[in-house]
Amino acid sequence: MLSLNDVAAVNILEKLVDNFGFQQETSTVYRKQGIRVFCIDGSMLTAEDEVAQLDADLILVASKHVSESGRPCLLAHSTGNWGASAEYGGKPHSLSMTSAYAIHGILHTALDSVQSMGLDYMEVGMEATHHGPYSDKPLIFVELGSSPQEWKNNKMAEAVAQTIHDFCFKQPKTSPEPAAGFGGGHYVRDILKPVFENRYAVGHVASKHHFPLSKEMIFQAFSRTSEKPRTALIDWDGLKSDHRSQLVGYLAEMGFELVKV
């Protein structure tokens, strides 16, 4: 799924059509076998109604990523709002459904795509859960960043398109232990280490910027992941001591396992 107002998304769509065999079915739908690409005119951040109408087991959203660094990157993340603000779509205090295995598969497929295309300067990574749209179906953003130079770069867009294509048609068979992540910065690099080592698959992540969290929001990190994980990966040094203590207490009350990273 993508917005036709998103330069990077349109570039990725063109590569899916030109390089990977997707064919236009209607003015807003492209298809290859059982995989469909739905296009909308508005912002994906507020596309709750369009998402709710889709008959899909998993929704991947091709999108641009924006950051001041402007670094070339291919990122994945879940959606939702940990707090009361829904400034960028979604619902307050509500996480969308996600899939830890899908994010794990996308990240590892992205590593293969970037390497095979000689784009070693592109960072493959994951962001903490943020922004909309809200979805009751597992929904994951796959983003090309981080400036107009990258959004319009055909080779980088092809790497994202290849990642989406290969994930959909050659899904990795590994199924590491699913988990939710807590702590660290927005790009959750320490939590990513065991993911890249194939020890865990992580769906929702709450960075240090989202703390303190209520018990209900911590529970949502697990309940709103389709694999229903029982393990919490905690960036131990990436949380204030009082936030960490409260988190550990809530996890113990709810019976979740704690793993320090």
Whether the bond between 212 and the residue before it is cis, its omega within 30 degrees of 0, is yes
- At residue 233, what is the residue type? L
- Report which residue type is found at 163: T
Tokens 């790497």 found at? 159
Task: Report how far residue 126's alpha carbon sits from residue 176's, in angstroms, rounded to the nearest whole number.
Answer: 17
Kindly state the percentage of the chain with pLDDT values over 90.
97
What region does 49 belong to: left with phi over 0, alpha with psi -120 to 50, or beta? alpha
Q: Tell the burial category of 197 from Cβ atoms under 10 Å away from its Cβ (0-12, 13-18, 19+).
A: exposed
- Report the side by side order of strands in the sheet with 231-234: 200-206, 177-182, 231-234, 257-260
Give the amino acid at 106. Answer: I
pLDDT confidence of residue 98: 98
Which has more pLDDT, 248 or 174? 248
In the beta sheet, which residues pair with residue 94?
Answer: 81
Decide: 182 and 206 in contact? Cβ < 8 Å: yes
- When mean pLDDT is compared across 12-16, 133-137, 166-170, the lowest value belongs to 166-170
Mean pLDDT of 4-27: 98
Pairwise CA distance, residues 58 & 231, whole Å: 22
Taking only the tens place, the pLDDT of each residue in 169-228 is 987 666 799 999 999 999 999 999 999 999 999 999 999 999 999 999 999 999 999 999
The amino acid occupying position 97 is M
Residues 6+ apart with CB under 8 A from 224: 80, 95, 96, 97, 98, 203, 204
Say if residues 222 and 229 touch (Cβ distance below 8 Å): yes
pTM score of the predicted model: 0.97
pLDDT, tens digit (0-9, with 9 covering 90-100), for 16-42: 999 999 999 999 999 999 999 999 999
d(CA 3, CA 206): 26
Would you state the pLDDT for residue 205?
A: 98
Q: What is the pLDDT of residue 172?
A: 66
Residue 45 near residue 132, CB atoms below 8 Å:
yes
Taking only the tens place, the pLDDT of each residue in 77-128 is 999 999 999 999 999 999 999 999 999 999 999 999 999 999 999 999 999 9
Which residue's entry shows tokens 């295995």? 101
Q: Name the residue among 16, 204, 7 with its Cα closest to residue 98.
A: 204
Q: What average pLDDT is seen over the chain?
A: 96
What does the alpha-carbon distance between residue 51 and residue 13 come to, in Å, rounded to a whole number? 18
Give the residue from 164, 143, 151, 126 showing the smallest Cα distance to 17.
164
**Of 227, 230, 179, the residue nearest 206 (C-alpha):** 179
Enumerate the β-bridge partners of residue 145: 65, 73
What residues does each domain of the chain span? 2-169, 177-260
Tens digit of each residue's pLDDT (9 = 90 or more) over 64-77: 999 988 899 999 99
- pLDDT value at position 170? 87
CATH superfamily, with its number, for domain 2-169:
AF0625-like (3.40.630.50)
> 177-260 — its CATH code?
3.40.50.10700
How much of the chain, in percent, has pLDDT values that exceed 70? 99
